[in-house]
Structure 1
Amino acid sequence: MKYYNEILDLGIFTRQDIQRIIKNSKTAESFLSRSLKKGYIKRIKQNYYVAIDIANNTPFCNKYVIATKLDKSNYISYHSALEYRGLNNQVFNEVVYSGHKRINDFEFEYVAYHFVQSKCDLQIETNYDGVKVTSIERTMIDCIDQIDLAGGIEEIYRAFDSIHNINEDKLIETLKFYNKKVLYQRAGYILETFKNNLGISNATLDYIHSQIGSSKCYLNSSKKVSNTTLNKKWNVCVPNYILTILSKGSDDNEF
């Protein structure tokens, strides 16, 4: 098909991109309409399209590429950043991504795309496939900050159990940016729990502890929940089922 190689090079493209390639607006509209009907391309959302591998009827771009190419400021975040790096336990039919330009949530090829407004531009890395994603360290703090966007506290624990030797300076940089006492409390408790495999020093934990608040908070909720135990060091109320899992250890393959 004429122009097929050009749209493959674009990956994700708009009607305006097609017009720039073909030069003639009427011919471009005809090409777009014909290609959609024949299944050479598919519409992702309003005025965004992707080329299709005709052999298996799947997009040439994966869900992470699609999310990050909708706007140049976009990057993969929260539980999707864990999943992108292979640190997930659950597989979600959802991509969470952030950026500056708000995009309404939509679904494409049975995957839900959920946009979260960017609050921070720190530690956004570009990988070999062109996908932009938050660093491991920032992802960790983001997930602790917004546990619902991380897939829940159990998902965070399983992910953190698989991470080794992180950059402490990057952790502190992110914590300082958000500058929330509750976040310091939750992060301190969780990071101390996994300090050995994460490579967290006592000096880093001491700094985090110096920033915590005097009011207690709940590990996995902004509201009061039942069946918790207060960790007095961090002023964090921890769900008892989490303590039970931790007490069993990795021999039972809980994480």
Structure 2
Amino acid sequence: MPDQIQLSHLEQTAYFAALRKGLHVVDVKRLSDVMAVSPSHAPKLLASMARKGALQRVGRGRYVVVSADVLFGRQTFVADPFQVVDELLQREGLSEYYVAYQSAAFIYGAADQLPQALLVALPRQRRPITLGRAKIIFVQVQRTKFFGIQETRYHDSFFRISDREKTLLDCLDRFDLCGGIDDVAHTISVLLPEADPERLLSYLPDMTNQALVHRLGYILEKLSTHLLVPQRLLDGVATLIAPRVYQLDPHGPEPGPVHPHWRVRENIMLALEP
């Protein structure tokens, strides 16, 4: 960002008009809507404001509005991806998405730190979006797994997010994206007390991941030594167990005893904190 912000009168008018309207993302149409700027001049105005540090380009013709305290306080620009993700995707016509994995776990208080990379599930591939030092990373997910989604409010924004039950299962489904099996076990321990056991069980078959079922049952039993785990949940998961044995961590060592009930090869030891 330049040492001195020198916006023209028109640029200042556009900038503060966007702030008054509560816009986090602007493009040619939005700029034309909030002030009398022709569609032919708007792209030049946006590009000039971006060069001067008032906007951050995040895609072709789309810009994130840099907050006033950052702009005039000379702080490092780090946009909050949670605040802009819905606006960014809606402007692309991508309404089929949801905040997922560790990012969803953070919203529910099951992650210790605000992740710099916001993980978003999409039914198609899309390149990441960089927002200063933060980033939005898109994970392609089968449409059959687009369920258990709700809308939530975050400050003055709204976005789509997996509910607690689906977040729990998604993290276990892709624990490679969530810090590993130990971190996911911790996430499960935090999400479980407020999760609906019946809803969780109803979601399990639609995850189409048999290994997930075995690992979930195993983790729930381990957690039950210091956490109240509903017996009906354990019993329900047990009915879905198949004969095949799955490694607790497929990236861990090969050897290890097989848990006779959950059909999980205990090739690592979970670090569960009471």
Shared topology, TM-score over 0.5? yes
* RMSD of aligned Cα (Å): 2.6
Decide whether the 8 Å contact of 1:13 with 1:48 is kept in 2: yes
Cα distance change on mapping 1:74 and 1:199 into 2, 3 Å: same
What is the aligned counterpart of 2:239 among 202, 207, 210? Answer: 210
Which residue of structure 2 aligns with residue 124 of structure 1? 149
Cα distance change on mapping 1:214 and 1:90 into 2, 3 Å: farther
**TM-score using structure 2 length:** 0.78
Q: Which amino acid aligns with 1:66?
A: V
Give CA-to-partner distance per residue, 1:110-163, whole Å, 9 cap, x none: 223221123322221212221221111111011111110222112112222333
Decide whether the 8 Å contact of 1:105 with 1:113 is kept in 2: yes
Give CA-to-partner distance per residue, 1:189-221, whole Å, 9 cap, x none: 122322477653222222211112211101222
Which residue of structure 1 aligns with residue 182 of structure 2? 154
Paired residue secondary structure (2:13)? coil
For these two proteins, the number of residue pairs brought into alignment is: 245
Paired residue secondary structure (1:2)? helix
Paired residue secondary structure (1:32)? helix
What is the aligned counterpart of 1:232 among 233, 257, 260? Answer: 260
Which residue of structure 2 aligns with residue 67 of structure 1? 85
Decide whether the 8 Å contact of 2:248 with 2:267 is kept in 1: yes
Measured in 2, the distance between the counterparts of 1:3 and 1:49 equals 13
Measured in 1, the distance between the counterparts of 2:225 and 2:28 equals 52
Cα distance change on mapping 1:224 and 1:196 into 2, 3 Å: closer
Decide whether the 8 Å contact of 2:101 with 2:167 is kept in 1: yes
What is the aligned counterpart of 1:77 among 80, 87, 100? Answer: 100
Which residue of structure 2 aligns with residue 2 of structure 1? 13
Q: Which amino acid aligns with 2:258?
A: L
Are 1:200 and 2:229 matched, yes or no? yes
Paired residue secondary structure (1:56)? helix
Give runs of aligned pairs for residues 172-211 of structure 1, distance below 5 A: 172-195=201-224, 199-211=228-240
Q: Which amino acid aligns with 2:86?
A: T
Decide whether the 8 Å contact of 2:78 with 2:134 is kept in 1: no
**TM-score using structure 1 length:** 0.83
Paired residue secondary structure (2:40)? helix
List 4+ stretches of structure 1 deviating above 6 A: none
What is the aligned counterpart of 2:64 among 47, 50, 53? Answer: 50
Which residue of structure 2 aligns with residue 15 of structure 1? 28
Measured in 2, the distance between the counterparts of 1:148 and 1:60 equals 26
Paired residue secondary structure (2:64)? strand
Are 1:39 and 2:64 matched, yes or no? no
Unaligned 5+ runs, structure 2:
1-11, 90-94
